[in-house]
Chains A and B, each alone.
Chain A
Amino acid sequence: MSSETKQILTTDGIPLEISLKKAERKNKIKAFLLVAPLLLFLIITYIFPIGEMFTRSIDDKMITNMLPKTFKSMETWDGKELPSEEVFASFLSDFKILVEKKEHGKLAQRLNKEKNGFNTITKKLFRQVKRNKIDETQSIKEQIMKVHKRWRNVEYWQAIKRTAPPYTSAKYLKAMDMYLNEDNKITQVSEDRRIHRILWLRTVEVAFFVTVFCFLMGYPIAHLLATLPMKYSNLLMICVLLPFWTSLLVRTASWMILLQQQGVVNDFFVLIGLVSDDNRPEMMYNKVGTYVAMTQILLPFMVLPLYSVMKTISPSLMRAGKSLGGTPFVAFWKVYFPLTIPGIGAGCLLVFILAIGYYITPALVGGASGTLISNQIAYHMKTTLDWSFASAMGLMLLGGVLVIYWLYNKLVGVDNIKLG
């Protein structure tokens, strides 16, 4: 609005806009207060932890803080020849402080990760410092180089310099089975050590097929639910929702009972003569078990959005399709199916996103060939305690989900989703 347009006043002479704001302010405050607990909850339990995860996954400040003077003096070093006397001197002074704080062990550990062999030479240097063998009036460079021949090797100094930046992408590269080599180039790890990429692919594959299976099974069920008379559809709905009322662990455990080699399903196969008793197929501790159990557990997430969409499709549309001359299949494919796409989109997105981060079920029935990336994350959280690596993988998973969401939005449109 330009200032030239005449201001509209209320009957009391207050400008209309101000009056309106005043009248609405109370409602706005009320609305905000109602939302505030949830907002706070989300910030504390969701946004803050994700931020924390992110900083942890790229954090590499430890050495930056341990060797401040060294890195300062290294700034002018070209990294090709051995560094100057000044660098050696500042390294020694940093190191002395660490020795006083008894933190030199940590430094050795971290540097050893960067390049093998640091452990030994740091210990040697520590002993020299402890015994005050280093005379600061003479060339420190010469003295340190005498401690061990590796201190004379420029590669070790390059390794120190590489740890200088406070942030690192190493964890992300590691999750993709890659690392930064001495020349700051992204390199693949040797073939026998590439485990993560297989896990990522397997996770996507399992999530994809679980989504497909859920869709294939859920679509007819949802259709039946939406078209049956109320008294039957209620019963069927309870059957669909029953898994929701049972603990996830119990359900997974019951699948273990069913699927194991001496389990109910195998017994049945033997009984009807499908397989011989001494040749029972393994249906658990592999991908089969993961597929079966996850499909059953995630099925309601497919059925419910589909059901809610199908419920709104008038049965007269199918009739119209048929009366206009379409065969039942044509009427279904041209009329009914396109109208269920919002439900399909919502169901598939929901199941896929849940499946891609699934943990308990693959952990229990997956075995070696059925574990997913989430199990790897849990392993690093609980066993190796490499939290920054776990954080990096978790964030990559989150990023992947966001990419899928974005793709879905491009292809189908998020407005087209109908969850209920």
Chain B
Amino acid sequence: MSKNTEFVKFDKVDKSYDGKVLVVKDLNLNISEGEFITMLGPSGSGKTTCLMMLAGFETPTNGEIYLDSNPISNIPPHKRGIGMVFQNYALFPHMTVYENLAFPLRVRKVQKDEIDKKVDKALSMVSLSGFESRMPAQLSGGQQQRVAVARALVFDPAVVLMDEPLGALDKNLRESMQYEIKHIHENIGVTVVYVTHDQGEALTMSNRIAVFNDGKVQQLSSPDKLYEEPVNSFVAEFIGENNTFGGEVTDISKDVCKVKLQNGEILANPISVTSKGDKTTVSIRPERALINPKDKMDNNQTGKIEEVIYHGDHTRVRLDLLGNKEFILKVPNSSNELDLKLGNEIKVGWNSQDARALDPK
């Protein structure tokens, strides 16, 4: 059984609310069947608008959305058969948990015993069996969230949309819910389109992540690629932590380029620079730069410790390095022998492969 790689397809979709500003610009996105795809981006980047267009609550200004090869722009939301989990759960407060879950089945005229069976199954899937007769107000936030997920899945939709579903939960609950949703997805193999502005959530749950900014998809790739190999400085900045240097390319070969900074010169991996004289922003992940490196590295610099912040499992060290006073290092808690004192000068090294020369900011 081959999976449809164009199960959901955004084809040249534009969206504008006022006829002046494009919220979504020329969006082309293919989502394959059974995939967990996350739309990640800052608020106002157009990700929720995309979701609403898919759900049918907004219409594309231009372009077409296809669901299983059928154009859906003219199909009203209730006929699309897409499950949706809302940001504030949107459980019907006057109905019990059972009635909430039975709602999508009742409007589809499913038989009573069939409804009972499906509701039972959906509730046990989110481990809430026995909560049928509770009202939503009698449930905790996490339980409400799980009811909302169960309700979006109970009528076996082809696609489930989730609009920042964990936004209102506290940190611990959010993490356990992430795993729970991920496991549900793995078990039933439904296509999930997930919207969030929380990168941690996106990284742990998704098969692929679409990073949105300014109405455009900046990068669409798997979580590890997104983190390790950002294609532009926005993605590098938005996903994870990041040390940056602004400079100019002075020499360039296939795998390595020389970048002249304000006071110094470093070697970097040319990603979006092509020729001498290009302006660039070099991005290095904090954990890729090491203190007193034992292995030979092609970038070796000396920096002054400006601040030491204890984080439990690791210590963050802020350095003044090559004129960048916000250079962050993450030192694992196991390396006790280091002398991390304010004002000390320490040696820092990294490979030019990990220093990605991206587009200038």
Chain A interface (Cβ < 8 Å from any Cβ of B): 314, 316-317, 319-328, 330-331, 334-335, 338-339
Chain A residues within an 8 Å CB radius of B32: none
CB closest residue in chain B, given A330: B107
Chain A residues within an 8 Å CB radius of B353: none
CB closest residue in chain A, given B86: A316
Whether B103 lies near A334 (C-beta < 8 A) is yes
B93 at the interface (CB under 8 A from A): yes
* Distance of B239 from chain A, by nearest CB (Å): 29
CA distance A86 to B94 in the complex (A): 75
25 contacts between A and B (CB under 8 A): A316-B90, A319-B86, A319-B90, A320-B86, A320-B91, A320-B92, A322-B56, A322-B76, A323-B55, A323-B78, A323-B161, A324-B78, A324-B83, A324-B107, A324-B152, A325-B107, A326-B78, A326-B104, A326-B107, A330-B78, A330-B107, A331-B78, A334-B92, A338-B94, A339-B93
- For the A-B complex, the count of residue pairs with Cβ-Cβ distances under 8 Å equals 69
Whether B90 lies near A317 (C-beta < 8 A) is yes
CA distance A325 to B76 in the complex (A): 10
Chain A CB count within 10 A is highest, among B76, B87, B103, B155, for B103
CB closest residue in chain A, given B79: A325
B142 at the interface (CB under 8 A from A): no
Chain B CB count within 10 A is highest, among A319, A322, A325, A338, for A325
CA distance A334 to B100 in the complex (A): 11
* Distance of A191 from chain B, by nearest CB (Å): 50
A-side interface mostly: helix
Chain B residues within an 8 Å CB radius of A320: 84, 86, 90-92
B205 at the interface (CB under 8 A from A): no
* Distance of A260 from chain B, by nearest CB (Å): 47
Whether B107 lies near A339 (C-beta < 8 A) is no
- Knowing A323-B83, A325-B155, A327-B78, say if A339 contacts B94 (CB, 8 Å): yes
Contact bitstring B76-117, A, C-beta under 8 A = 1, else 0: 111111111011101111100000000110011000000000
- Knowing A317-B92, A323-B55, say if A328 contacts B78 (CB, 8 Å): yes
CA distance A335 to B99 in the complex (A): 11
Whether A323 lies near B103 (C-beta < 8 A) is no
CA distance A308 to B341 in the complex (A): 60
CA distance A340 to B108 in the complex (A): 25
Beyond A316-B90, A322-B56, A324-B84, 9 additional pairs, beta carbon < 8 A = A314-B90, A316-B88, A317-B90, A320-B92, A326-B78, A326-B103, A330-B107, A331-B78, A335-B92
* Distance of B90 from chain A, by nearest CB (Å): 4
B151 at the interface (CB under 8 A from A): yes
CA distance A280 to B55 in the complex (A): 55
* Distance of B207 from chain A, by nearest CB (Å): 23
Q: A314, A325, A338: which contacts B78 (Cβ < 8 A)?
A: A325
CA distance A117 to B261 in the complex (A): 123
* Distance of A400 from chain B, by nearest CB (Å): 31
The 10 closest A-B pairs by CB, nearest first: A324-B104, A320-B90, A323-B84, A316-B90, A322-B77, A316-B86, A326-B107, A322-B78, A325-B107, A338-B94
CA distance A249 to B133 in the complex (A): 54
- Knowing A319-B86, A335-B92, say if A324 contacts B103 (CB, 8 Å): yes
* Distance of B92 from chain A, by nearest CB (Å): 6
CA distance A331 to B78 in the complex (A): 10
CA distance A316 to B81 in the complex (A): 17
Chain A residues within an 8 Å CB radius of B86: 316, 319-320
CA distance A184 to B56 in the complex (A): 75
B57 at the interface (CB under 8 A from A): yes
CA distance A316 to B90 in the complex (A): 6
Chain A residues within an 8 Å CB radius of B88: 314, 316
Q: B56, B57, B155: which contacts A324 (Cβ < 8 A)?
A: B155
CA distance A330 to B108 in the complex (A): 11
Q: A316, A324, A327, A330: which contacts B151 (Cβ < 8 A)?
A: A324
Chain A residues within an 8 Å CB radius of B107: 324-327, 330
